[in-house]
Structures are given as C-alpha cells and as structure tokens.
Amino acid sequence: MENKEIESRINYLRNILNDANYEYYVLDNPTLTDQEFDKYLRELEVLEANHPEFDSPLSPTKKVGGEVIERFKKVRHTIPMLSLPDVFSIEEIEEFDARIVKESIEPSYVCEYKIDGLSVSLHYEKGALVFAATRGDGVVGEDITHNVKTIKSVPFTLKQPIDIEVRGEIFMPKKVLEDLNKDREKKKLPKLQNVRNAAAGSIRQLDSKIAAERKLDTWIYHLPNPEDYGMKTHAEALQFMKDLGFKVNVDANQVVTGIQEIETYVNETAKKRSELPYEIDGIVIKVNRLESQKKLGFTSKYPKWAVAYKFPAEEVLTKLTDIVFTVGRTGRITPNAVLEPVIVMGSTVKRATLHNEDYVLSKDLKIGDIVSIRKAGDVIPEVVEAKLERRTGEEQSFLMITHCPICGNLLEKKKDQVDHYCMNLSCPARKVEGLIHFCSRKAMNIDGLGIEIIEDFFNLGFVKSISDIYFLKEHKNDLIELEGYGNKSVDNLLSAIEDSKLNSLERLLFGLGIEGIGDKTALLLSKLFKTMDAMMNATYEEFKMIRDIGPTLAENLITFFHDEEKIALLEELKTIGVNLTYLGEPEKTHDLISGRRFVLTGTLSFTDRDSLSALLELYGGLTSSSVSKKTDVVIVGENPGSKYDKARELHIEVWDEEKIKNIVESL
C-alpha cells in the first residue's frame, strides 16, 4: 500500500472504532460485534506500529492506556469549578424553591441524579480532546488527561469541530468495585471502601494502564459557558452535550415545575436507587432557564440556582454480640462493638469503634442489643443507637474494664479526660501498635511489614523495638524457614527495610508516634527544623511559637525528645544509617534524576562516589547502597561488584560511565 492509502485506511479504522465505542459505551447500543471490533482494532494496532509517522494521541488504540506520567501538573480553571450547597430534607428543598419564587423566577427546574464519583472538566479544541482536569480546590485542579483518555465513554472527537469545555462526574460502576474487591481479597489487599474512593484512587494513578483496568465511566451534566452556544435552558444544554457525543443521563434527568413535582422525583428516585448500576448519593435540583440562573448568581462558594439534596445515610440493624477492648500505641483503651456481620453500603461490617466508656454509656448500649449501624462519612461504620423496643431482658450491661486486657496493668484516667490509658511502657500491645504505626504507609512505608507480620515477628522475638526492624537481616535464615516465606519474599522485605532508611525526616518523625503529631504536623516540623538534631535541641517556647502547635503538642514534643530511651533510639537509628534530615523538594530537578533511586557500583574515572551521590541528591535523586526492586538505575564503573549482576537479574536500568559522564556534563 502507498503511504497515502495507509493513512486513509488508518483514518477509516479510527472512525469506525471511535463510532463503535460511542455506540457501545455512550448509547449502550452496539452495532459492531465484539469480534468485528477486535479485528479492526488489531488491524489498526499493526498499521500504527509499522507507521509511527501517523501516530495520534487520540487514536482509539490509546484507550487501553500505557501513558505513564511523572507527576500531576496543576491546571487553573478559567471558570471556577464550584460545588453545590447540600440540603438534607424536603423542607430545605421547599426553602430553596421559596427563595426562587421570591425573586419572581419561574419555578422550572431540572432534577438530576447526584452521581457519587469525582468531578472532571473536559476541554476540546476543534472537536478534539485536549485535556482533562480534576476539580482540585475549585480554582486549581490537576491534569489527569492520560487517565481520562482510557475512559471509554469520553469521546476523543466530537460530532462538531468546536472549542468547548464540559463538566461531569467520573464514577466506578457498582459491579466493577465488587469485582475489584473480590480480586483484592484474593490478593490479601485491603478492600476499597466505596465507589467514590475507588474512582478517585484510580484517577490518581500515574500509570494509565491501571486506570484503564478500573473501567471508569462518566456522566456529563454541566456546560460552563452555555450562552456561547446559544443555549436558553439547562435542559437544552444537556441535550446539546448529548448530541456532541457525551454521555448525558437524559433518561434520568427530568424537567419539573414546582415543589410537588420535585418531591415526586425525589421519592421515585429513592425507590430506584438500589437497582441502578452506579451509586447516586442524592438529587441535584437546578433552575432550568439560564437567564434566571444568571439573575440569581453565585455566593463565594456556590451557585444560588442549584442545590444538592443528599439521601439520608443507609441504616441497617444487627446484633451487638460483644464489646471488646483494644490498646493503642499511646496506651489508650478503646471499646469496640463486635457485630453480627451485616452489609452496609456495599461492604461487610463486623466491628465498629465505640470510642470510650462515656460514649457507650451515653448510648446505653448492652451486649445482646439490636443496634442500628450506619457509615459515617460513608466509610467508617458507626453504631447509631440501641433499639430499646427489641430488648428481651437477656442483655448484659456494659462494664468498663479496670485493667489492661493485654498486660494486666491498672488503667488510668487522666484528669478531665474521657479516655482510659494503660501506662505500662512495656505493654506488648502498645509496643506492637507502635511498630505497626512505624511501618505504616504514611510513616516509613515498609512494604511487607503489615499488621499480622509485625505481630508474628514480635511474638517470635525478632522485632521487639523499632531498631530491631533494621536488624531483621540478621535473622534472614530463620525468616526463610517461616511458613509462607521464601527466599524471594524475604529478600524483598529486607530491601524494603533498607530502602526505608532513605526516607525524608517527616516520615520518621511521624512514625515515631509522638502523641498528637500527625503526618501533616510532622511535615511542618521537618520543613522548619530540617534535622532531627535541631528538633531535639529545640525548646518548649520554640515549639509553641509555631502555628498549629499549641501548649499540649509542645509539651509532648519536649517530653519525647528529653526521654532517655527515645534519645537512645534516635542515636541508634543514626548509627544504623537511617536518614535524619528533611530531604524536601529538591532545589534543582532533572528528568533522568529527580525522584529516582540510584545505586553506584565499581570505580568511576571522572569522579568519586561520594561526590556523585551528592550531585544526584542535589537534583532530587536518592542513593542507596543495595540493589532492590525499587532501584531505578544502577550506575556501573570499572570492576563492578555483585550489584551489577543483581541489576541485570532484576532488569534494572544500567548506566555506564559514558552515560553518567554525559549527564553530569550537561547539568
């Protein structure tokens, strides 16, 4: 085939496949069979592979993902992406309607489903997708084009070659979350709590292959500049966007007049809600006439022409079979409800925190009670109340424990506080919780040291304190012998532990578990003090001067840094080689260096290893002494050691002297 012919065949195939995607994913009315679709797609893939000169970022072959970005770029919204004021009752919708009528505005509204996902802004130029952004804080969002491109219902090209921005919701269908969680359960990964978090997590992936696997979808519901396209009503704008090729929920949306019709829509939707293949968490009611919208205008946060009615949180009944106590890393005792397993909003609930003694007493909970459960913030299960009318007389009253359930120490209650504490610093429960916290994702983020493994290692005596984690390598042979372990998983675990030594100060500071110091405060302190030494030498007054640090936190910091055991621990960590400085944002960046992990081996003729390490670190690279899965590049000089073999075995990028010399000279 001539080049011209090839180009036109490519264009022909792209059109067929784009249309097929539209018919399948937007209209839900496929015209091609799956076999035909696959045949055309394969033909196109082969042509594109052989003719990169005709590559297009908007080819339907790109829907499978593959693009990987380094970081999310910020995008400023030309028109702010506002959210909506929430209302929770029909009375509040009536108040909204009354405000509209009071302004002599005709009460004609569009009622829509409130889709439970995350909002997105899609930008097209001459009918072609140019970029997609999240809402962010409403003014500045993040560029998520690489992931949005994998969503099948997002058109690459519109039916008209116009410039336009539209907004809508990215969501994960209920069935997709169900399947994903089944798969995660098999892999022993924690389940994703709800469709919103799952969709948001998928969109926040740097690698678009992962987003593509998550089978996200869209409903488009907002045209920010309707007048530019001659629209008179919101309903017209919705139809216009549908005609352009977007997925618009026209079957669900309804134009209504007056409060009575809104109420009917709300009630009917509430009945249908559980049958829908996607989650909705309410109804959005928007004034239909755009002129009226303009007249009503905006507050600083919201449009005055729309409200979001939120459905009440689903409450489910179950039996409170027991109340058990757990000991946190600060020694705090928490009573927990043990429940007959019950499904609330898509996931099984077996336990719920009861916070403290006062909480249980104020709800008058008894063991054996039938209680109602709901998910606070849709994620954390909460016991709402005991159903007193269901009591049989067999229920047992709640009694707060007086001694630690783990070490038996007498519990203490601090003055004016509701919580009970086990003050025994050697209480195994406190120690284990402290270790779990140290290794957790927001702290030292040591892959492979999860809750159960830490408990096992603690009970086996391998890890009794934080510094023991770094001596686990001395038990390598014992670890390999343990059930469920092998050479490879032990190697991975030990590498993850070694890698954690390179973490920036804030992770360590947070991981130390100083009372009241969360990850945000740890970051703030690390940025201000730069080194652990500087923090250890700071005074109470210096801490208290910092915004966000009150007298209690300042006191906690001083107590911690003056405790002999803690000072010894920090000294030990320093000797072990754990980084105690804030690495922060690098002052300089380089595409091939910043954020990557390097290992150096062999001798280099143009520089020595220490100078090169310092240079790499200056550009935001991290250097480590051993090769692991997480290593990005191994720099190999003359007479390299076994690190070079390991790099090849793990297929890690290798730079020779020539390559690093060129890069260094270009800096």
Binding residues (CB under 6 A) for ligand IVH: these are: 82-84, 112, 114-115, 119, 169, 221-222, 284, 303, 306, 308
Query: Which H or E element spans position 83?
Result: none
Comparing CB distances to ligand IVH, the nearer of 200 and 342 is 200
Most distant pair of Cα atoms in the chain: their distance: 88
Tokens in use for 557?
A: 């910091």
The DSSP symbol for 28 reads S
Distances (CA, A) of 110 to 121, 250, 662: 21, 11, 62
Query: Which H or E element spans position 170?
Result: strand 164-171
Query: Which H or E element spans position 118?
Result: strand 118-125
Comparing CB distances to ligand IVH, the nearer of 99 and 609 is 99
- State the amino acid at position 611 in one-letter form: S
β-strands 653-656, 140-142 pairing: unpaired
CA angle 397, 401, 403 (to 5 degrees): 165
Beta carbons of 637 and 657 less than 8 angstroms apart? yes
Burial-class residue 560 by CB neighbours within 10 Å (0-12, 13-18, 19+). Answer: buried
Q: How far is the CB of 307 from ligand IVH (least distance, A)?
A: 9
Tokens in use for 358?
A: 């006062």
List of E strands, 401-546: 412-413, 420-421
**Using CA atoms, how far apart are residues 655 and 628, in angstroms rounded to an integer?**
16
Within 13 Å of residue 4, how many CA atoms lie on the same side as its CB? 0
Q: Is 114 a catalytic residue?
A: yes
Comparing CB distances to ligand IVH, the nearer of 30 and 303 is 303
Q: How far is the CB of 253 from ligand IVH (least distance, A)?
A: 8
Q: Which of 420, 450, 422, 467 is nearest to 565 (CA)?
A: 467
Beta carbons of 528 and 509 less than 8 angstroms apart? no
Comparing CB distances to ligand IVH, the nearer of 114 and 146 is 114
Beta carbons of 154 and 122 less than 8 angstroms apart? yes
Beta carbons of 652 and 627 less than 8 angstroms apart? yes
Query: Across-strand partners of 207?
Result: 68
Buried-exposed string 361-373: b where 16+ CB fall within 10 A, e elsewhere: eebebbbbbbbeb
Beta carbons of 628 and 496 less than 8 angstroms apart? yes
Tokens in use for 487?
A: 């050479």
Which residue in 114, 149, 152, 431 is the catalytic one?
114
Distances (CA, A) of 62 to 70, 165, 582: 18, 22, 40
Q: How far is the CB of 115 from ligand IVH (least distance, A)?
A: 4
Comparing CB distances to ligand IVH, the nearer of 196 and 507 is 196
Q: How far is the CB of 377 from ligand IVH (least distance, A)?
A: 14
Q: How far is the CB of 258 from ligand IVH (least distance, A)?
A: 20
Q: How far is the CB of 278 from ligand IVH (least distance, A)?
A: 11
Tokens in use for 285?
A: 């009611």
Tokens in use for 31?
A: 């015209």
Beta carbons of 615 and 667 less than 8 angstroms apart? yes
Tokens in use for 643?
A: 């690190």
Q: Tell me which residue has its CB nearest to ligand IVH.
A: 119
**Using CA atoms, how far apart are residues 23 and 15, in angstroms rounded to an integer?**
12
Beta carbons of 437 and 451 less than 8 angstroms apart? no
**Using CA atoms, how far apart are residues 152 and 537, in angstroms rounded to an integer?**
57
Cα distance between the two ends of the chain: 46
Beta carbons of 352 and 373 less than 8 angstroms apart? yes
Q: How far is the CB of 167 from ligand IVH (least distance, A)?
A: 7
**Using CA atoms, how far apart are residues 421 and 229, in angstroms rounded to an integer?**
65
Q: How far is the CB of 250 from ligand IVH (least distance, A)?
A: 12
Comparing CB distances to ligand IVH, the nearer of 214 and 222 is 222
Helices (H), 206-363: 208-213, 234-244, 258-272, 290-296, 357-362
**Catalytic residue list:** 114
